[in-house]
Structure 1
Amino acid sequence: MSVGLGIVFGVVVAIITALVLAPPVPHVRFGSLRERFGPELDRVTAQHHGDAKAAERELKARVRRFGNLRPLSLTAPTRERYAAQWADLQGQFVDCPGAAVAKANRLLWQLAVARGYPADSHARQVEALSVHHPRRVDGIRQLHTAAQQSAAGEAEPETMRQAMVSGRLLFEELLTTQPREEGARKARAPRLQNVPVQRTADRTRSLG
């Protein structure tokens, strides 16, 4: 065997050996992502124009960044204070929907920060929330968008109402869900009540 062929043969053997001995790459099945993220998987897939592989990569990256985040506890008085503030904003929505939505957007952000979620940007906070509250995270997106539209004078009343409804679902979940290390014991905050938020000529509508 010539020296050249010997070198080539040695390189091939080294590559094959490396592939055989390399540790397996962890693989998260699409079904596992579906179980974990639910509708959030559909949203991300649509954002990537139906590219399921791209959606998988994005969600796996979120899990790597925020999967180890452990939400902070809230004291009972703190939870009650937040619940009272949200109820007050729902009442304000009757007469000043735009202002109420803007305040609700800030209050939801503040609650998320108090639970230990990122405070440096809206995008990072949403990504972290999507890992731990995937079925409710759209509430913070809707409130954020409605607040921006309201500031620009472009928000429709029904859009703002739906944003308040969706935002409340995430708000309640952030109030009542306690860190895993507390075990099965979950301290429950007072359930937020449905209150009138939009008057019409002949009836009063309520948040769902």
Structure 2
Amino acid sequence: MPTWSWIVIAVVVLIIVVLALIAGASMMRKKRSDRLKDQFGPEYERAVDTAGGQRAAEKELLARERKHNKLDITELTPQSRARYEQAWQETQARFVDDPSQSVSEADRLVTEVLRERGYPIDDFEQRAADISVDHPKVVEHYRAGHILHLAQQRGEIGTEAQREALVHYRTLFEELLRPDHETRDTAETPAERETGTDTAKGARA
């Protein structure tokens, strides 16, 4: 066989290999994207918006997963769960007489539960990122409650917004108290049950 024939064959084989590698890489990227979309749900779209594109968003979400995997997240004991449930009932009942104090206590209770379960609590944005891995649907309610709590501290909101803040906090609080095998992160949240929609979207700053 002439030399040029071998060269042609080699080039054809090389092209086939390169195309196969490109196709394989494309399939792997799609598989990764599908997994992240399934894992993070609405948090995936939020990451795309805030990161400025799909590739940057997926890089961020993968980094969240890697960091989260290093954390020692544990369930609450039945005793702790009962104690927090009682504390929340008292906090919610206090809303009638002192909405501001009730919202502040709700923020504190959520932070205490996060600390006891093993989430780092030093920085809010990092806290929300860590929570999003386990609770991608309700983390937006946490952000909404936090925004309203900060607005309350500045004296910028009234009773109705304070009520919304309490509902947002309760959404995450209930999810954090629930045993992992009973999580309902994909179910209707308290905020949705009370308003008929996902109110966290409306509270986004």
The TM-score with structure 2 as length reference comes to: 0.69
Aligned length: 161
> Is 1:148 paired with 2:177?
no
Following superposition, the deviation at residue 67 of structure 1 comes to 2.9
| Structure 1 residue identity aligned to 2:100 | G
Q: Cα offset for 1:68?
A: 4.3
Residues 143 and 167, structure 1, Cα contact 8 Å, conserved in 2: yes
* Structure 1: distance between partners of 2:64 and 2:167: 26
2:112 aligned residue:
110
What is the alpha-carbon distance in structure 1 between the residues aligned to residue 160 and residue 49 of structure 2?
24
> Could you tell me the TM-score, scaled by structure 1's length?
0.68
Q: Which has the higher helix share?
A: 2
With over 3 angstroms needed to count, the CA separation of the structure-2 counterparts of 1:77 and 1:207, relative to structure 1, is farther
Note if 1:170 corresponds to 2:172: yes
Corresponding residue number in structure 2 for 1:42: 45
Percent identity of paired positions between Structure 1 and Structure 2 = 35
Amino acid in structure 2 at the alignment position of 1:155: I
Matched letter for residue 145 of structure 1 = I
Q: Once the 2 structures are TM-superposed, how far is the Cα of residue 48 of structure 1 from its aligned partner?
A: 2.8
Q: Which amino acid aligns with 2:142?
A: I
CA contact (8 A) 1:164 1:207 kept: no
CA distance in 2, matches of 1:125, 1:177: 20
Structure 2 distance, partners of 1:40, 1:160, is 24
Rounded Cα–Cα distance in structure 2 between residues aligned with 1:156 and 1:61: 38
Divergent runs of 4+, >4 A: none
Which residue of 2 is the match for residue 202 of structure 1?
A: none
Structure 1: gaps spanning 5 or more residues: 1-19, 179-183, 187-193, 195-205
- Name the CA distance, whole Å, in 2 between partners of 1:119 and 1:46: 25
Is the 8 Å Cα contact of residues 89 and 104 (structure 1) preserved in structure 2? yes
Instruction: In structure 2, list runs of 5 or more residues that go unmatched.
Output: 1-20, 183-189, 196-205
Distance, in Å, in 2 between the alignment partners of 1:166 and 1:132 is 17
Paired residues of 1:66 and 1:131 also in contact (CA < 8 A): yes
The aligned residue for residue 56 of structure 2 is 54
Residues 121/162 of structure 1: CA separation in 2 closer, same or farther (3 Å cut): same
Residue matched to 1:79: 81
CA distance in 1: counterparts of 2:144 and 2:71, whole angstroms:
24
Considering only aligned residues, what root-mean-square deviation do their CA atoms show, in Å?
2.6
- Provide, for residues 136-195 of structure 1, a one-character-per-residue CA deviation record: whole Å limited to 9, x for no partner: 1123212221111111001243332222222212111111124xxxxx6x6xxxxxxx9x
AA in 2 matched with 1:80: A
Q: In the alignment, does 2:128 pair up with 1:126? A: yes
Which residue of 2 is the match for residue 3 of structure 1? none
Tell me the amino acid that sits aligned with residue 118 of structure 1: P
Do 1:71 and 1:115's aligned partners in 2 also have CA atoms closer than 8 Å? yes
Deviation at 1:207, TM superposition (A): 6.1
Structure ranking higher on relative contact order (CA contacts 8 Å, 6+ apart): 1
CA distance in 1 between partners of 2:111 and 2:124 (Å): 8
